[in-house]
Amino acid sequence: MTESIEVLRRRLRFGTLPEALLQPGRDVVLRAGDRSITRDELRERAGEVAGGLHDLGLSPGDRVALFAANSLDWVTAYLGAQRAGACVVLMNPDYHSAEAEHILRDSEPALVIADKARAAVVEPLGARVVLLQDLPRAAEPAMPALTPESPAAILYTSGTTGRPKGALLDHGNFLAQGRGAIEVWRWTSSDVLVHALPLFHLHGLGMGLHGTLLSGASAILVPFTPAGVVTELKSGGTMFFGVPSMYQRLCDWLDENPTDLSHVRVFVCGSAPLPPALFERCERLLGQPPVERYGITEGGIVVTNPYQGPRQPGRVGYPFPGVEVKLGELDEVLLKGGQVFTGYWRNPQATNEAFTSDGFFRTGDVGEIGGDGTLAIRGRIKELIITGGFNVYPREVELVLESHPAVQEVAVAGVPSEKWGEEVTAYVVPSGTEPLVESALIAFAHERLAAYKCPKRVITMDRLPRNAMGKVQRSVLASQRT
Ligand code: AMP
């Protein structure tokens, strides 16, 4: 068994990104608004950008930071930098100066490719900036000597609990990721992905963009709005990838504007927990439940509900082909496979701590593996609340509170307390369908959970603070505890 997994892993890692992603073809591969690009054009432009970067003095292995909103030019710059053999540092376009400064100091890029708005953020930091819209082009340089082990990109972790760390992914990691996604969701060249995810994140890049290019399919880049996504799905989209907060907004919109989307082949959801009530709402309004999948920047997107067969609300499903998943101490989810990164950029100590002695990546998530082999995520170890000496995982409490009709969304966190050490606190966005009464919600929890797990306080909010990937920012919550 172990041997066949090793063989599969090697097969999935074979090749490098420029060879695999820049395939010839006269068909349109990407569209954004009224601009579109064919495979041949993409290949040619990426080659010219590689030539331009080469003329600017860039050598294979140098870092190039990419700091811009999603666009076709973003894709050309990314693939051009890959083609030049650079390691691309992906930057969230929402970063403010201090966040950008941390990334630039840490990754030391030879240059930053930025759109106009982001150039204004990084120029005062002394970075060497090339404007995205003015990227120089020149004759395609000789193909650099790359291997599956060559660094491809540095993706910074979300940093919802600490300073972002640079996860270094190599070409083999991305190819294993893209090929795995094609296999599990049966991606074919006739698919059209409606792509509304940020390209700087693994979800939008490693699955969305790479999967499209590798499978011979096409994609439409759209800024996320429910109406915009539905329009593109109705005019030929066959796949949609989103985070739960996007599905929430899509459902709200579809409630008001019922639309037949039964022709869509698959909706995939991940990056944060998909509440069972939202799963059911999607099933009703989209005509099918999303396929929930689980992943992490460093380890890849590696577990999914089945494409065919029952999709279970509250569970993230089975490992991708070639991926091993097991539980370690404190039921921590441990991963091994071709997608798993080799380490943090210039941070051997963090890298060392991230792996077990037998080479599994420690995700920091608490899991539970059912009798049918499916995984469920119970929360992050660091989010564990210790109250009166007992351990409480917020997700378990959230799942109960989410099932109350007065609750639309909820996040549970520990608030320091002299009496309890930490006090279980629920931050709730009311559904508006019935009044939210603090004592009634706490009593509801007591009927379903051991007393120590029940919230001591309920704080009402208009919305939960989330980052670009829909993850609740607990540090922000903790500052709103009154
Ligand atoms: P990131 O590295 O930004 O992709 O964040 C990874 C983290 O997101 C994981 O460690 C999980 O805590 C969380 N996550 C991703 N997918 C899911 C999911 N389907 N259910 C619950 N948590 C998820």
Q: What is the pLDDT of residues 36-46, one digit of tens each?
A: 999 999 999 99
**Low-confidence winner among 26-30, 66-70, 95-99, 165-169 (lowest mean pLDDT):** 95-99
pLDDT score at 382: 83
The reply to whether 180-380 shares the fold of 17-146 is: yes
Tens of pLDDT, residues 305-317: 999 989 999 999 9
CATH code, residues 180-380: 3.40.50.12780
Mean pLDDT, range 416-437, rounded to an integer = 92
Tens of pLDDT, residues 312-369: 999 999 999 989 999 999 899 999 999 999 899 999 999 999 999 999 999 999 999 9
Nearest CA residue ID for atom 3, ligand 1: 158
- Residue 219: left if φ>0, alpha if ψ -120 to 50, beta else—which one? beta
Q: What is the Cα–Cα distance from 102 to 327, expressed in whole angstroms?
A: 33
Predicted confidence band at 1 (pLDDT cuts at 50, 70, 90)?
very low
CA 465 to chain centre: 17
Q: Is it the case that residue 10 has pLDDT exceeding 80?
A: no
* Domain ranges across the chain: 17-146, 180-380, 384-477
Mean pLDDT, range 466-478, rounded to an integer = 80
Predicted confidence band at 160 (pLDDT cuts at 50, 70, 90)?
low
Q: Are 49 and 135 in contact (CB under 8 A)?
A: yes
- Is the sign of the CA dihedral 379, 385, 388, 389 positive or negative? positive
Nearest CA residue ID for atom 23, ligand 1: 272
Q: Is it the case that residue 175 has pLDDT exceeding 80?
A: yes
What superfamily does domain 384-477 belong to in CATH? ANL, C-terminal domain (3.30.300.30)
pLDDT score at 480: 65
> Ligand 1 centre from 384 Cα, in Å?
16
> Ligand 1 centre from 12 Cα, in Å?
23
Give how far Cα 28 sits from Cα of 37, 192, 193, 233, Å.
Answer: 5, 11, 13, 17
pLDDT score at 217: 98
Q: What is the Cα–Cα distance from 171 to 175, expressed in whole angstroms?
A: 6
Q: Which of 373, 372, 370 is nearest to 324 (CA)?
A: 373
Tens of pLDDT, residues 429-449: 999 989 999 999 999 999 999
Mean pLDDT, range 76-93, rounded to an integer = 97
Give how far Cα 55 sits from Cα of 111, 132, 138, 140, Å.
Answer: 13, 16, 8, 10
Atom of ligand 1 nearest to the CA of 269: 19
Mean pLDDT, range 386-409, rounded to an integer = 91
Q: What is the Cα–Cα distance from 478 to 415, expressed in whole angstroms?
A: 7
Three-state DSSP at 112 gives strand
DSSP state letter for 197: S
Nearest CA residue ID for atom 7, ligand 1: 296
Q: Which amino acids bring their CB within 6 angstroms of ligand 1?
A: 157-158, 202, 270-273, 292, 294-297, 316, 363, 365, 377, 380, 469
CATH code, residues 17-146: 3.40.50.980
Atom of ligand 1 nearest to the CA of 270: 19
Predicted confidence band at 379 (pLDDT cuts at 50, 70, 90)?
confident
Q: What is the Cα–Cα distance from 249 to 481, expressed in whole angstroms?
A: 26
Q: What is the Cα–Cα distance from 412 to 428, expressed in whole angstroms?
A: 9
Q: Which of 222, 226, 233 is nearest to 247 (CA)?
A: 226
**Low-confidence winner among 52-56, 311-315, 388-392 (lowest mean pLDDT):** 388-392
How many beta carbons lie within 10 A of that of residue 34, not counting itself?
A: 5
Mean pLDDT, range 9-13, rounded to an integer = 59
> Ligand 1 centre from 157 Cα, in Å?
11
pTM across the whole model: 0.90
Q: What is the Cα–Cα distance from 423 to 388, expressed in whole angstroms?
A: 9
